[in-house]
A and B are shown apart, each in its own frame.
Chain A
Amino acid sequence: MSASVLYDEPGPRARVRHRLVGVATLGLIGAFVAFTIYRFTETGQFEPLKWKQFEYEAIQLQLLHGLLATLEAAGTAAVLALIFGGVFASARISDAWIFRAPATFLVELFRAIPLLILIFFGYYVPLQYGWHISNFWALVAGLTVYNGSVLAEIIRAGIAAIPRGQAEAAYALGMQKGQVVRLILLPQAIRAMLPSIIGQLVVLLKDTALGFIITYPELLYVGKQMGSRLAFDLPYVPTYLVVAAIYIGMCAIMSAFANWLAKRGDGKRSPAPTPRR
């Protein structure tokens, strides 16, 4: 990346200056790490008692169940949100206002409401009318309508970005609107939008952590319970470090995948927008 807007290839003096700034920054980072370690020792975070609970099989299982609960909610919601997104994106580009108007309204509405409130709706409203929804489905419902609406927007934008010639050519071949969307536009839009879609699924995965508020026993909820064990001297710090590592690991793998896809798409597209297969 030599051609930056902001700076040229550094000369000898600039290089020295950059190195100095670099060393100073490293020094600051080092000081920060040292301070953190000092605080950790000072407050006894390294004491075996605080880490001891990770040795218990029941606790490991609990952590695993939390992780599985997170993945289960995220997986279910991801599938449903993709369906929701596809359906609503199609409705939004429909020629019939009877589909377009309500779809547009709902997508805009769901995107404007905080996810937490949507989850509350899923949990408390059915109860008011005497039916019961488990906290799993309340969480999944909230995640689905919120992320589904965002996905609908992403897919719609993706379809809008496809060169008009594609649709025109398809119409010229005698295809109907439904066929054009389903066979020509959606596949291309999804391919182009795949990185954004995966990015949104990462958001969805992270948002499962809101489940704690309706006490769905996901990973963070388990972490809170573990951290609040008085018998292990409230090991919040060790527990959250482990929980954070798991979240960051899962999301980073997904983000890396999205980045890889993005790069792969770019590389292939840059010579000429040739249709593949």
Chain B
Amino acid sequence: MNSCRTASLMGMGVLAIVMALGACGKKDEPRAAGSTSAAVGTGDKCASSGVKLTPATDVKIEGSKTYDKIKGAGKIVVGVKADQPNLGYKDADGKRCGFDIEVAQLVAARIGIDPSKIEYKEIPSTNRETAIKGGEIDYYVGTYSITDKRKNDVGFAGPYFIAGQDLLVRKDESAITGKDTLQGKKVCSATGSTPLQRVREQKLTDDGNISEFKTYSECVSQLLDKKVDAVTTDDAILKGFAAQSPSKLKVIGQPFSQEKYGIGVAKDDTAFRNAVNDVLEAANKDGTWKKIYDGTLGLSGSSATQPPAERY
């Protein structure tokens, strides 16, 4: 009777909407492609540094389980992030770009795999150790800070970049000028992230004022809604967000930590870790790192040099 009819009517209505959506999408395909090239206004166009990577031949990594797996499969599964502009981002066209993405491609090419053969997996901060330990991904490049605690679970190649924890606030914010002005303010960061742990350890604000979400972009949304007063994580990440919405957001610019970004690999695979370190060192010498940096993260305004790899 009543409820049944309502339900099926609603069902049909929704189906119609879905179909209409699908249909309109198809029709607009060429136009969508056109609007992308003109999408500069929306700022959602992926820019690459333009560094050409040709896969190396005659690569041999002895005694590496990861490498054997990669060779066997003929492809690489790389864990990345997709919501961090200029670092690890996927634009509306489905194109991936950013510093981390290109570092991942660099590593792939130098160990003999065509970067186009990379299968990207979006792994949020909380799940990184899990994904590496479980072999779900071959390596992880996504603002992954090297810490002693994480070294219990995974191995780190690199660092390939040094960032620092900073604060992202609304453009009109004047009360927050650095980490010591956070008392009583609402702070947001990603669940299980190092920045969040630091806020807790240093008691920068009350535990009750801390909000956690799975991704930083969700925190940014809460910041713009004024439900939190600051988003805290590495300046590299925050600058990317500020660059996407410069009229509403700003980065404080008082970093209060040193985050060494490493490439997460399986803990016991020392051979693979060394190989990745070799790749990073070579890219430093031949200037590839610099080119990649300038064409991606460097666009947010600051310059940087590559840190030496820490072999352990």
Contact = CB atoms under 8 A, between A and B. Distances in A.
Contact present between A and B (CB < 8 A):
yes
Interface of A: 1, 49, 52-62, 123-124, 127, 130-135, 212-215, 217, 224-225, 227-232, 234, 236, 242, 245-246, 248-249, 252-253, 255-256, 259-260, 263
B130 A127 contact: yes
A212 B214 contact: yes
Contacts of A231: 42-44, 91-92, 244
A69 to B, nearest CB: 13
B218 interface: yes
Nearest to B249: A230
B215 A256 contact: no
A196 B133 CA distance: 41
Given A127-B130, A229-B44, A259-B3, A252 B221 contact: no
Interface string B173-215: 0000000000000000000000000000000000000000011
Contacts of B44: 229, 231-232
Given A215-B124, A252-B14, A132 B133 contact: yes
B14 A56 contact: no
Nearest to A236: B221
B8 interface: yes
Contact of B94 (A61, A131, A236): A61
A253 B94 CA distance: 32
A10 B33 CA distance: 61
Contact of B17 (A215, A245, A252, A253): A245
A277 B95 CA distance: 59
28 contacts: A49-B42, A52-B35, A52-B42, A55-B25, A55-B28, A55-B32, A56-B93, A57-B25, A57-B93, A59-B94, A60-B22, A127-B130, A132-B133, A132-B134, A217-B122, A225-B83, A228-B218, A230-B245, A231-B91, A232-B42, A234-B221, A245-B14, A245-B17, A246-B14, A248-B14, A249-B18, A252-B14, A256-B4
Contacts of B214: 212-213, 215
B7 A228 contact: no
B51 interface: no
B215 A228 contact: yes
A234 B225 CA distance: 11
B220 interface: yes
A255 B7 contact: yes
B127 A214 contact: yes
A54 B25 contact: yes
Interface residues of B, number: 54
Contacts of B22: 60
A231 B248 CA distance: 12
A124 B244 CA distance: 36
A189 to B, nearest CB: 23
A57 B29 contact: yes
A181 B258 CA distance: 67
B7 A259 contact: yes
Chain A contact residues: helix, strand, loop or mixed: helix
B241 interface: yes
A19 to B, nearest CB: 19
Q: Which 6 A-B pairs have the closest CB atoms?
A: A132-B134, A249-B14, A58-B94, A231-B44, A228-B217, A252-B11
Interface in B85-110: 85, 91-95
B36 A56 contact: yes
B135 interface: yes
Contact of A230 (B14, B29, B82, B241): B241
Nearest to A214: B127
Interface in B120-149: 122-124, 126-127, 130, 133-136
Most chain B beta carbons < 10 A, residue from A230, A242, A263: A230
A38 to B, nearest CB: 19
A44 B218 CA distance: 20
Contact of B4 (A52, A58, A248, A259): A259
B15 to A, nearest CB: 6
A58 B14 contact: no
Contacts of B1: 1
B285 interface: no
B61 interface: no
Contacts of A253: 7-8, 11, 15
A230 B85 contact: yes
Contact of B136 (A124, A132, A225): A132
B21 interface: yes
B31 A260 contact: no
